[in-house]
Amino acid sequence: MFYVDFDSYHDHRTAFEFAVNPAGVKQDDICSNDFFIGDRSWDPVWDVATTIDSLGWVVEMRIPFSQLRFPHARDQVWGVNFFRWVFRKNERSQWAFQRKTETGYASRFGHLVGLHAIPAPKRLEVLPYTLGRGTFERPVFGSPFDRGHSYFGGAGLDVKYGVTSNLTLDAAVNPDFGQVESDPAFVNLTTVEQFLQERRPFFVEGASIFNFGGTGPYIQFGNTPQYFYSRRIGRTPSLEPEAPPGGFIDVPTHTTILGAAKLSGKTPSGWSVGVLDAVTARERA
């Protein structure tokens, strides 16, 4: 695997990582808090081409400025580093040397200079959608809610706008996340809420800004708790009424998000900015 990482904010804490293997399979993620484990739910648009010959392989990447976040300044300095993993040898090579005894990640990058008057990218994406859905299954005997088939239609709009080169506004009206990868099955027998990875595109943009504190395999006892968990927005209603003996009840499987807006990025002085607001519908059983 070959990796290239950009600290385009040059805050020595954030890295936008792009990686590819000889077959041309891409990987991208955002590393935050000067840590090498990144958020792979980030999904930028970029191109790559690879060529394999008798001497090895060659990679060429095309990464648009519109997919990165950087300060609005005429002369800029970015952090940059290059890595190559040879898994069959368990060997890693990197451009900016870092000793095994040294901690940190983005703070150890080299400097990319010579960036002058980068044109402000036109970052406006509008994605309207319409959908139709039908389900057909054997009805449950005696249930007044189950007729064996159901039909559903809807429409909505997603908007992404680059307010500045380092601030992004995301908005969604009646968003639909039916195309998002399903969560893995699990059985939770504890009284503790199950934490799942965020996969919905609207909540992925700028997610690292909201992920102060945290949970997961790399968080140890005594760390700052996770104050914001976006998966609670639009989740299954927590109150589930019981059906009467021998009766049936129609319970919604999720909470409808009517609209949401989010502003995320960093100021020229280095402050992280994250504001999110969502409106959900009233659900009834």
Query: What integer is the mean pLDDT of 10-16?
Result: 91
Q: Which range, 52-61, 123-132, 163-172, has the best average confidence (pLDDT)?
A: 52-61
Q: What is the pLDDT of residues 138-173, one digit of tens each?
A: 877 777 777 777 787 788 898 988 887 778 899 999
Q: What whole-number distance in Å separates Cα of residue 132 and Cα of residue 92?
A: 49
For the chain, the first-to-last Cα distance in angstroms comes to: 51
Provide the pLDDT for residue 60: 96
Residue 210: DSSP 8-state: H
Query: What integer is the mean pLDDT of 234-253?
Result: 78
pLDDT tier at 208, thresholds 50, 70, 90 = confident
Q: What whole-number distance in Å separates Cα of residue 117 and Cα of residue 119?
A: 6
Q: What whole-number distance in Å separates Cα of residue 235 and Cα of residue 193?
A: 12
Q: How far is CA 161 from CA 44, 104, 125, in A?
A: 14, 32, 6
Q: In 3-state terms, what secondary structure has residue 174?
A: coil
Provide the pLDDT for residue 225: 65
pLDDT tier at 217, thresholds 50, 70, 90 = very low
Residues with Cβ < 8 Å from 9, sequence gap 6 or more?
Answer: 69, 70, 71, 166, 266, 270
Nearest alpha-carbon partner for 210 in 222, 198, 221, 219 = 198
- What is the CATH code of the structural domain delimited by 2-116? 2.60.40.1190
Locate CATH 2.60.40.1190 in the chain.
Answer: 2-116
Nearest alpha-carbon partner for 115 in 173, 171, 71 = 71
The phi and psi torsions of 165 (rounded to 5 degrees) equal -70, -15
Query: What integer is the mean pLDDT of 58-73?
Result: 88
